[in-house]
Structure 1
Amino acid sequence: MSSAPTQQRSGLAVVGGGKIGEALVSGLVRRPGAAEGIVVVERSPERAAELESRHGVRALDLAGAAAACRVLLIAVKPQDVDALLVDLAPHVDPGHLVVSVAAGVPTARVEAALPAGTPVVRVMPNTPALVDEGMSVLSAGAHASAADLDEAEALLSAVGQVRRVPEKQQDAVTALSGSGPAYFFYLVEAMVDAGILLGLPRALAADLIVQTALGAATMLRDSGEHPVQLREAVTSPGGTTIAAIRELERHGVRAALIAAIEAAHDRSVELGR
């Protein structure tokens, strides 16, 4: 166990400097003075140096990070979690708060590898945290208190919105918002290609679609109207939009999207095993 007294620990260690780890670091350091309280743990020396240079944070090893920081945010790939926990366990005690953003990994699995009583919070964030528009969803483990959840929520609210759910809903959350940005990027990619097919320059097609997507998302968020109402407001009888919607339905786009999200959910469950 770590020999550092609990009261001397402060700050946050992000363990794992991949895409989601860096997304969270980059958002968190934008708060005034926050970089001083954030360290990263990254096994690649080159990547660690890159994160230090780019974000102004310190890179430490696992033992040093656990000794210095109360909150340990695990941001490695799900398949790397078990090996990491074996290395981390000797340096952790119940005075830490362990926050895991590893997709599909249940809190019970993390708790079983750490000293008894260690509080664990499971989080599913997403990459729009890079631009402070992330969606993070929290679930408490067996030993996490309301104060622990509040602390995790305060941390993640710096990079977007936060919701709390029972842990049994986390695989569905992973399929919707965790993987969700990729679905929108895929759709935008297809729409830009359609614009090029119709004779528009790529840059113009991208500008049109990105601004349209931003405006549509803002309307969904701010209008309080159901998506069906908003779609129907654009769909004139006998017009261009209904012709497009007919083709989407004919090609089974709605069913394909539902099936895709179900597949993401099933993969999240599989990763958790």
Structure 2
Amino acid sequence: MLVSMKEILVKAQSGAYGVAAPNVINEDTARVCIEAAVEMKAPIILDFAFQFHPDIVSLGKIICMLAQAAPVPVAVNLDHGAAFEHAIWAIRAGFTSIMVDRSSAPYEDNVRDTAELVKIAHAVGVSVEAELGHVGDGENYAQDREQGLTDSAKAREYADRTGIDCLAVAIGTAHGAYSGEPHLDFERLKAIRREVDIPLVLHGGSGSGNDNLVRAIQCGITKINIATDLFVAGVAAGAEEGPPYMIYHRIREGYKQRLKGYMELFGQSGRAE
């Protein structure tokens, strides 16, 4: 069933568990993620980024149809929506959530642009995620980690002024593969949690370590974005011995099993109603 991301995350926050948000890049990855959710009897959020596939409207409609037919709650979210037009296209395609990513912009610009899209999205029942601070890339982890950490003192003001439904925070994770040892600032996360009562989002879940991710959920994280680890598992499975014509099936299975492992770790398995 196709539902809003807010609905999934509010329930997860109340139940103190996390929800995986894998990046889907085409119809096939969306199908694999939904299969995993059905097998685990779990809600799931499909993160769809414009950078992976520019046809948000056509492919987005297909993904939303797949979600609607699923027997578990599925939200379809525009990940890292950097342009106003991308958000509108996603809403037009039937997405139930959009991320407004103005994390690299000056604070006041971030607030202004996010609030504008919140007003539009909420008018048609679409939930909104936005980012305060900035999660950088793993390959530049040593240089980027300290620069974009979320200011906990601004978290409440930001949430109040924008009206967002969930807040993505920067506490030391990074997108992609880490070039060093990940170090998560749990005290900062706890301080943010004290300031805001909406669900919190962790970008850069891949490679962050199972113990760190479990602790992050315990400290207030509800949505965990996962991409690199799933694709790495798929590539590894595809390289295993077997008939060449079965390579796609091996890739699918490797991706799916890794995702199911994260769903179990986050405590979302068996939570579908």
* Common fold by TM > 0.5: no
**Highest relative contact order (Cα 8 Å, sep 6+), 1 or 2?**
2
- With normalisation by structure 1, the TM-score equals 0.31
- With normalisation by structure 2, the TM-score equals 0.31
Larger Rg: 1
Q: Which has the higher helix share?
A: 1
